[in-house]
C-alpha cells in the first residue's frame, strides 16, 4: 500500500514537472515578456534593463534551473506586472473562483445524481424520457452559449440580476447556474447508465428475494454499487474545476482564476502563469489519486493483495 | 375449484390454480395447476424456456412490471397476487426463501458475505450486532462452510462458486423458511460441487422439515432428491407423479422423451427429443408438445388436453393418449419406436 502510494506521488510530481517545463519553454520562446509589458515602442535600454532585472538575459536552461530552485522552496516568483508575489496573487483569485465553483459543483452533483437515479428507476417511462431530454440538451448546449442566454434573459431583458462581476451575492447566481447545468447534465446520464447496469444484476433480485422492499433494495444494494463509476466521474470533474473556470468567468466577467489566466498569458506574466499551471496540474493529479483510493475503498474487488 | 393437484390430502402449503403469466410478447406460463405440501420435496423439470423460473418469480412478485399475472397462487391460504407489495416482500426471505442459479452474481460484490446473511436475520428475526454475528456463524457452520468466523468477513469474489452457493443457502435458511425454492442451484457449479450442494439441500430439508421446490432441467438431479416430480412444458404442467412412479411409468410422451434423453435413465442409446420448446409468441394450437411428439394424432391440435388422473394415485398427465390403458400402450410404442 505504501509502495503503491509512493509510486503514485512520484508519478504525480513527474507530471507536474513536465507541465512546468513545457510551459516555461513555450512562454519564453514565443514572445518577449519585456516587449509585451513595456510596449512595442519601448527604448532598447529599457528592454535591456527589464531583461536584466528579471534574469531574462541568461540562457534558458539557467533560468529554468534557478526557477526550479525557487520552486522547491515554495517560491513561485513575482508578477512582472506589479511585482506582487505570484502565489499570493493566484491564491486570491482561486478563492474568488471557488465562490462559484463549490456551490455549482454541489448543485450539479445533487441535481445530476438525483435525476439520473430517478430516470433509471423509471426506465422507459415518460419521466425517464423527460429527464434524459433535459440532460441531453444541457449537455449539447455549450456553457458559454447558456451563459449568454441567461445574461440576455435575466440581466438584459428582465434586469433582475447583474450581468457579471462579484459585487453582490446576486452576481453568483448566473455563473453557478451555468456551471451546475453542464455538470448535472453529464452526471445525470452517467448516473442513469450506472444505475441501470446495476439494477439488471442478479443480486438485485436476491435483495428482493430476501425480503427487502424495493426502496431498501435500491438504497442498500443498488446505490452503493452504482456509486463506484459516478464517484470516479465526480473526481475527474473536481480535477478539472480550476481549469474549467476560464470560459464561464469570461462570460460573466467573474474576477477569478480564469480571468487571471487570460490576462497573465496575454501579458506574458510568466511567474503567474507558471504558478497557475502548477496549481491546476496539482489539483488534477491529486484528484486522480483520490479517485483511485476511493475506488479501492468502494469496490473490494479493486483492492490489491487483500487485507 | 380446489382440485387435488397432488401435495397430499391436507391443505397444501403453496398452490397454483390456473396460474398464468403473460409478457408483452406472449404468454410464458399458461395455466399451471400445482400444489406443494408441507415438508414435501417437489421437483420441477422441463427444458430451457418452459416457464419453470417465471412461474415462481411471478408468484413471489419478483418479475418486473411488464409481466401480467392471472389465476391464483396461494401460500398457506393467502392469495399472493392480492397481497400488498410490502407484505409480500416480508414473506420472501422469511417463510418463503429462494436461491438462484449463479451464486457469484446472486451475491452483492461490494458487501461482505456475512453481512448479507445478517441482513436477513435483522429483517426477519430482529437480530443485530453480536447476536446476528453469532447466528451468521452458526448458519455458516450449518451449511458446511469451514472456518466460518473468518469467511463471514470475506467478499463474494474471495470465495469459490460452491462456497458462494452455500452462503446463498445460509441466507435462505436465515429466515426460517417453510418453503425453499431452489432454481437450478447447481447448474453453474462443477459436478463434484453439484453433488455436495444437492446433498446439503436434502439434509437441510429433512433436518428442518421445510418444503423444497427444486427446479432443474436435469431429471436425474430431481429424481434423487424429491418425493414428487412435476414436468413443465411450454408454460404448463404436463405430468406429475411420485418420483418412482414417474420414472417407472411415465404417462406423457414429453416425460418419456426427457427420460430417454437423460444419461442415467435412458435404456440404451440417448434419444434426444427433436425440435425445441415453442416461444411464448409462437404457441401451436392444442397440445403444445404435439409438433414434436412421435405419437401426435390429428385431434392433438384441436384442444389443449387437461391434466387428469391416469390410474395410480397422485399421477396426473395432460395427454389425450395417456388416459387409462393408453399409457401402457404408449410406453410400449415408445420402446419400439425407431431412434
Ligand atoms: N422478464 C421477461 N420478459 C419477457 N419474457 C421473459 C422474461 N423472463 C422469461 N421470459 C420468457 O418466458 C419463457 C420462460 O422462461 P423461464 O425463464 O421461466 O424458462 P425456464 O424454464 O426457467 O428455463 P431455463 O431452464 O433456461 O431457466 C421464455 O420463453 C423466456 O423467454
Ligand atoms: Mg430458469
pLDDT (tens digit per residue) in B38-82: 999 999 999 999 999 999 999 999 997 788 999 999 999 999 988
At A306 the pLDDT is 43
Q: Is the distance from the beta carbon of residue B185 to the nearest atom of ligand 1 less than 6 Å?
A: no
- A219 in a domain, yes or no? yes
Element (H, E) at B64: none
Chain B residues contacting A, CB < 8 Å?
57, 60-62, 85-86, 89-94, 97-98, 100, 102, 105-111, 119-120, 123-124, 155, 157-158, 168, 171, 175
- Which H helix or E strand runs over B196? helix B191-208
With respect to residue A18, please indicate whether it lies within any of the assigned structural domains: no
Residue pLDDT, tens place only, A228-269: 999 989 998 888 888 778 888 888 889 999 899 888 888 888
User: Which positions in chain B touch A301 (Cβ < 8 Å)?
Assistant: 109-110, 155, 157
Reduced to 3 states (helix: H, G, I; strand: E, B; else coil), residue A127 is helix
Nearest CB neighbour to B93, from listed A201, A211, A220: A211
Query: What gap in Å lies between CA B96 and CA B43, rounded to an integer?
Result: 16
Residue among A153, A181, A151, A105 nearest A253 (CA):
A151
User: Which chain B residue has the Cα nearest residue A307?
Assistant: B154
**Cα B53 to ligand 1 centroid, rounded to whole Å:** 7
Is residue A91 included in any domain, yes or no? yes
Residue A307: pLDDT band by 50, 70, 90 thresholds? very low
Q: How far is the CA of B277 from the centre of ligand 2 (A)?
A: 13
Query: Is residue A81 domain-resident?
Result: no
Whether residue B119 and residue A202 make contact (CB cut-off 8 A), yes or no, is no
Q: Judge: A210–B106 Cβ closer than 8 Å, yes or no.
A: no
Within 10 Å of residue B135's Cβ, how many Cβ atoms? 18
| pTM score | 0.85
Listed in sequence order, the residues at least 6 apart from A218 whose beta carbon sits closer than 8 Å to its beta carbon are: A121
Domain extent, residue A101, equals: 86-305
Tens digits of per-residue pLDDT, B108-118? 999 999 999 99
Residue at A110 is within a domain: yes
Is residue A58 a part of any domain in this protein? no
Residue A42 in domain: no
Q: Do B110 and A201 touch (CB under 8 A)?
A: no
H helix intervals, chain A? 2-30, 33-38, 44-54, 60-72, 86-121, 126-140, 143-150, 170-199, 202-209, 214-217, 223-239, 245-251, 257-266, 270-298
The tally of domains found in chain A comes to 1
Q: Is pLDDT of B265 > 80?
A: no
**Quick check: A300 contacting B, CB < 8 Å?**
yes
Q: Is B217 a pocket residue for ligand 1 (Cβ < 6 Å)? A: yes
Which carries the bigger pLDDT value, residue A63 or residue A191? A191
Adjacent-strand bridge partners of B242 = B228
Residue B331 banded pLDDT, cuts 50, 70, 90: low
Q: Which residues, listed in sequence order, are joined to residue B212 by a DSSP beta bridge?
A: B41, B180
CATH number of domain containing A93: 1.10.3720.10
Does residue B23 have its Cβ closer than 6 Å to ligand 1? yes
Amino acid at each position: 500500500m505504501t509502495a503503491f502510494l509512493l509510486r503514485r506521488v512520484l508519478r504525480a510530481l513527474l507530471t507536474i514537472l513536465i507541465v512546468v517545463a513545457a510551459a516555461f519553454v513555450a512562454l519564453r520562446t514565443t514572445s518577449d515578456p519585456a516587449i509585451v509589458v513595456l510596449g512595442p515602442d519601448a527604448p532598447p535600454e529599457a528592454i535591456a534593463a527589464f531583461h536584466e532585472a528579471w534574469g531574462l538575459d541568461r540562457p534558458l536552461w539557467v533560468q529554468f534551473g534557478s526557477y526550479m530552485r525557487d520552486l522547491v522552496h515554495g517560491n513561485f516568483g513575482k508578477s512582472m506586472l506589479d511585482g506582487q508575489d505570484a502565489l499570493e496573487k493566484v491564491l486570491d483569485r482561486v478563492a474568488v473562483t471557488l465562490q462559484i465553483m463549490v456551490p455549482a459543483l454541489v448543485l450539479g452533483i445533487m441535481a445530476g445524481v438525483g435525476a439520473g437515479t430517478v430516470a433509471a428507476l423509471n426506465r422507459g417511462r415518460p419521466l425517464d424520457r423527460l429527464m434524459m431530454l433535459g440532460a441531453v440538451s444541457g449537455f449539447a448546449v455549450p456553457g458559454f452559449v447558456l451563459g449568454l442566454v441567461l445574461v440576455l434573459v435575466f440581466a438584459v431583458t428582465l434586469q433582475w440580476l447583474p450581468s457579471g462581476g462579484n459585487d453582490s451575492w446576486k452576481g453568483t447566481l448566473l455563473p453557478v447556474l451555468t456551471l451546475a447545468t453542464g455538470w448535472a447534465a453529464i452526471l445525470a446520464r452517467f448516473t442513469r447508465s450506472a444505475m441501470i447496469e446495476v439494477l439488471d444484476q442478479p443480486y438485485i433480485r436476491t435483495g428482493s428475494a430476501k425480503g427487502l422492499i424495493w426502496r431498501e433494495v435500491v438504497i442498500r444494494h443498488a446505490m452503493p454499487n452504482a456509486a463506484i463509476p459516478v464517484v470516479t466521474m465526480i473526481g475527474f470533474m473536481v480535477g478539472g474545476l480550476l481549469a474549467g473556470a476560464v470560459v464561464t468567468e469570461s462570460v460573466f466577467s467573474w474576477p477569478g482564476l480564469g480571468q487571471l489566466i487570460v490576462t497573465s498569458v496575454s501579458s506574458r506574466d510568466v511567474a503567474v502563469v507558471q504558478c497557475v499551471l502548477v496549481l491546476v496540474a496539482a489539483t488534477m493529479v491529486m484528484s486522480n489519486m483520490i479517485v483511485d483510493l476511493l475506488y479501492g475503498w468502494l469496490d473490494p474487488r479493486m483492492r490489491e493483495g487483500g487485507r | 375449484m380446489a382440485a387435488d393437484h397432488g401435495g397430499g390430502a391436507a391443505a397444501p402449503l403453496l398452490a397454483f390454480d390456473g396460474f398464468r403469466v403473460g409478457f408483452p410478447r406472449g404468454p410464458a406460463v399458461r395455466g399451471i395447476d400445482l400444489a406443494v405440501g408441507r415438508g414435501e420435496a417437489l421437483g420441477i423439470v422441463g427444458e430451457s424456456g418452459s416457464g419453470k423460473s417465471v412461474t415462481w418469480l411471478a408468484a413471489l412478485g419478483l418479475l418486473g412490471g411488464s409481466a401480467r399475472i392471472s389465476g391464483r397462487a396461494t401460500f398457506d391460504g393467502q392469495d399472493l397476487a392480492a397481497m400488498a407489495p410490502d407484505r409480500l416482500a416480508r414473506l420472501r426471505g422469511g417463510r418463503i426463501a429462494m436461491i438462484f442459479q449463479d451464486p457469484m452474481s446472486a451475491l452483492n460484490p461490494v458487501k461482505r458475505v456475512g453481512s448479507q446473511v445478517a441482513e436477513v436475520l435483522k429483517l426477519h428475526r430482529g437480530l443485530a450486532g453480536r447476536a446476528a454475528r453469532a447466528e451468521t456463524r452458526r448458519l455458516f457452520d450449518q451449511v458446511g462452510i469451514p472456518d466460518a468466523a473468518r469467511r463471514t468477513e470475506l467478499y463474494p469474489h474471495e470465495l469459490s462458486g460452491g462456497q458462494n452457493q452455500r452462503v446463498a443457502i445460509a441466507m435462505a435458511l436465515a429466515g426460517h423458511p417453510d418453503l425453499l425454492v431452489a432454481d437450478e442451484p447447481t447448474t453453474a457449479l462443477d459436478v463434484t460441487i453439484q453433488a455436495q450442494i444437492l446433498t446439503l439441500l436434502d439434509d437441510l430439508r429433512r433436518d428442518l422439515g421445510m418444503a423444497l421446490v427444486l427446479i432443474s432441467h436435469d431429471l436425474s438431479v430431481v429424481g434423487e432428491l424429491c418425493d414428487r416430480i412435476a414436468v413443465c412444458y411450454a408454460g404448463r404442467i404436463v405430468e406429475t407423479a411420485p418420483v418412482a412412479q414417474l420414472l417407472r411409468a411415465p404417462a406423457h410422451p414429453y416425460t418419456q422423451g426427457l427420460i430417454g434423453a437423460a444419461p442415467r435413465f435412458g435404456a440404451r442409446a440417448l434419444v434426444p427429443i427433436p425440435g425445441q420448446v415453442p416461444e411464448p409468441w409462437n404457441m401451436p394450437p392444442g397440445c403444445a408438445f404435439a409438433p414434436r411428439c412421435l405419437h401426435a394424432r390429428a385431434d392433438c391440435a384441436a384442444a389443449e388436453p387437461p391434466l387428469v388422473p391416469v390410474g395410480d394415485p397422485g399421477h396426473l398427465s395432460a395427454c389425450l393418449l395417456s388416459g387409462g390403458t393408453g399409457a401402457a400402450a404408449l410406453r410400449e410404442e415408445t420402446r419400439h419406436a425407431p431412434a
